[in-house]
Amino acid sequence: MPQNNNSVKQISVPLPDLFRPVTGENTITDEYGNIWKQISVTGYLRLIDNFFWPDNPTICSRFLCQKPPTVEQVEISRKNHNM
């Protein structure tokens, strides 16, 4: 019986290219309504707080097996680390 595979398509990107800047205005919106701009082959920048995430922030990351922290979580972390 065939399996239902709902996983996100995996892309193979050489390590040096992971952070290669890209041009264009590709953006996505996360579940909280935050806009993320694609700034590298796989990475996105959340515009509201300039937080970088090395993968699509709307899915469980294939690198870290989690979604990025919320704006509030980043704010608390930055405050605790005097950033």
* Residue 8 included in any domain: no
* Residue 1 included in any domain: no
By residue range, what is the domain housing residue 42? 15-80
Tell me the average pLDDT across 12-30: 86
- Quick one: pLDDT at residue 3? 45
| Dihedral, 18, 82, 32, 69 alpha carbons, nearest 10 | 50
Provide, rounded to the nearest whole percent, the portion of the chain with pLDDT above 70. Answer: 84
* Residue 23 included in any domain: yes
- Whether the CB-CB separation of 69 and 46 falls below 8 Å is answered with no
* Residue 33 included in any domain: yes
* Residue 67 included in any domain: yes
* Residue 4 included in any domain: no
* Residue 7 included in any domain: no
Q: How confident is the model at residue 11 (pLDDT cuts 50, 70, 90)?
A: low
> Domain count of the chain?
1
Q: Which residue has the tokens 């909280």?
A: 32
Tokens linked to 56? 């699509």
SS3 78: helix
* Residue 66 included in any domain: yes
pLDDT tens readout for residues 28-38: 999 999 999 99
Tokens linked to 49? 């707080």
